[in-house]
């Protein structure tokens, strides 16, 4: 925790020193995931859910070049109002944000890095990045996957975003030795829906089992994270045909406009939300709430094992 570039919020620092449960949360969903004030309302609700389930929330961001593990209410509000004017930051961007004292909203990869610096082992998000469709030609593969191979943080998510190539994403994770766990399922969820047609490596049914597996992995010095795929609740899921049609339409428009790189995912998610009349965004919010609850319960069990 003694990092000269890192600021840990007092509540988070106290919890870590006392061995209590802490859950990391990303900030890209605030600045790039949805409009203000809905983004800030969602972020605050996620933090509330983490607290209700016995853990301390630590929303991660970069503000004025400082790495932040835990944000104040006014800092959350600032990120929400600033929106996409705040840079989307992955691993490669961190030193430049720090050196130039800029603000950054953290992706899965950069959230994992800063969480690990602070000593936080459990992270809740919506969905991980992965291998993009057509990556055989574009080589567009999210830095999230390499981070999962090297950084000791468990990522609770609703699977890989369904705008991606889920099969290739799972192959990439397997090659890099990253376990993919289905929480209460044998099948990898696909973000907006519970099914993808692809299996997971292991099925685990309780937060206690998850915590024991995580502790064993890191006690054995097996570096890297774990993907814990928590399916969206059925009542919150999208109709498979509706979401598939929307994704295909969004992908076609992205190609037509020439959108590439780190702008791809925000463009696709926004376009899918537009096409579905906001239904996909509503599902996105509900699955983040569910992941926050599971992350908090898992962090509590992991703290008990320490």
**Residue range 58-67, pLDDT digits in tens:** 999 999 999 9
> Does a structural domain hold residue 246?
no
Can you give the pLDDT at residue 1?
58
**Residue numbers of the domain that contains 190:** 6-237+288-305
Q: Is 210 helix (H, G, I), strand (E, B) or coil?
A: helix
Can you give the pLDDT at residue 259?
83
For residues 264 and 90, the model is more confident at: 90
Which of 111-115, 123-127, 164-168, 245-249 shows the lowest mean pLDDT across its residues?
Answer: 245-249
Q: Check 13, 68, 88, 161 and give the catalytic one.
A: 161
Judge whether 272 and 253 are in contact, CB under 8 Å: no
Based on the structure, what is the number of domains in the chain?
A: 1
Q: What ranges in the chain are assigned the alpha helix state H?
A: 10-17, 28-31, 38-52, 73-82, 94-99, 108-118, 135-138, 143-150, 166-175, 207-219, 240-257, 264-275, 279-305
The mean per-residue pLDDT over the stretch 207-232 comes to: 98
Can you give the pLDDT at residue 128?
95
Q: Check 26, 47, 147, 293 and give the catalytic one.
A: 26
Please give the DSSP secondary-structure letter assigned to residue 233: P
**Residue at token pair 């802490």:** 22
Copy the structure tokens of residue 207: 């937060």
Copy the structure tokens of residue 246: 């929307």
> Does a structural domain hold residue 88?
yes
> Does a structural domain hold residue 272?
no
Helix (H) or strand (E) holding 7: strand 6-8
Model confidence pTM above 0.85: yes
- pLDDT tens profile 80-111: 999 999 999 999 999 999 999 999 999 999 99
Is the per-residue pLDDT at 39 higher than 90?
Answer: yes
The mean per-residue pLDDT over the stretch 127-131 comes to: 93
Distance of CA 156 to the CA centre of its chain: 7
Interatomic CA distance for residues 142 and 130, integer angstroms: 5
> Does a structural domain hold residue 255?
no
CATH number of the domain at 127, please.
3.40.1790.10
For residues 44 and 260, the model is more confident at: 44
> Does a structural domain hold residue 264?
no
Q: What percentage of the chain exceeds 90 in pLDDT?
A: 78
Name the residue among 79, 87, 80, 135 with its Cα closest to residue 107.
87
Q: Is 297 a catalytic residue?
A: no
- pLDDT tens profile 265-303: 778 778 888 898 888 889 999 999 999 999 999 999 999
> Does a structural domain hold residue 257?
no
Residues 6+ apart with CB under 8 A from 223: 150, 152
> Does a structural domain hold residue 243?
no
Interatomic CA distance for residues 199 and 188, integer angstroms: 6
> Does a structural domain hold residue 106?
yes
Residues 6+ apart with CB under 8 A from 305: 211, 212, 215
Q: Is 88 a catalytic residue?
A: no
């Amino acid at each position: 925790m003694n990092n000269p570039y890192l600021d840990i919020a007092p509540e988070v620092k106290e919890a870590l020193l006392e061995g209590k449960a802490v859950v990391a949360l990303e900030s890209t969903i605030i600045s790039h995931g949805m409009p203000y004030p809905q983004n800030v309302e969602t972020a605050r609700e996620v933090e509330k859910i983490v607290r209700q389930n016995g853990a301390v929330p630590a929303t991660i961001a970069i503000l004025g070049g400082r790495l932040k593990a835990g944000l104040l209410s006014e800092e959350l509000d600032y990120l929400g109002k600033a929106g996409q004017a705040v840079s989307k930051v992955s691993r490669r961007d961190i030193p430049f944000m720090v050196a130039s004292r800029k603000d950054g909203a953290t992706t899965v990869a950069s959230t994992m890095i800063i969480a690990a610096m602070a000593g936080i082992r459990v992270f809740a998000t919506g969905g991980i990045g992965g291998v993009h469709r057509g990556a055989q030609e574009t080589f567009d593969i999210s830095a999230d996957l390499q981070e999962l191979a090297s950084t000791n943080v468990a990522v609770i998510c609703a699977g890989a975003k369904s705008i991606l190539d889920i099969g290739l994403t799972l192959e990439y994770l397997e090659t890099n030795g990253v376990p993919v766990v289905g929480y209460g399922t044998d099948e990898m969820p696909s973000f907006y829906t519970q099914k993808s047609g692809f299996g997971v490596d292991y099925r685990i049914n309780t937060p206690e089992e998850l915590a024991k597996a995580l502790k064993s992995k890191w006690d054995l010095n097996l570096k890297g994270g774990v993907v814990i795929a928590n399916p969206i609740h059925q009542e919150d899921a999208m109709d498979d045909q509706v979401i598939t049609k929307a994704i295909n339409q969004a992908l076609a428009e992205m190609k037509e406009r020439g959108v590439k790189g780190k702008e791809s995912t925000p463009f696709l998610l926004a376009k899918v939300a537009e096409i579905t009349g906001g239904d996909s965004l509503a599902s996105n919010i509900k699955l983040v709430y569910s992941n926050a609850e599971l992350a908090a319960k898992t962090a509590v069990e992991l703290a008990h094992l320490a």
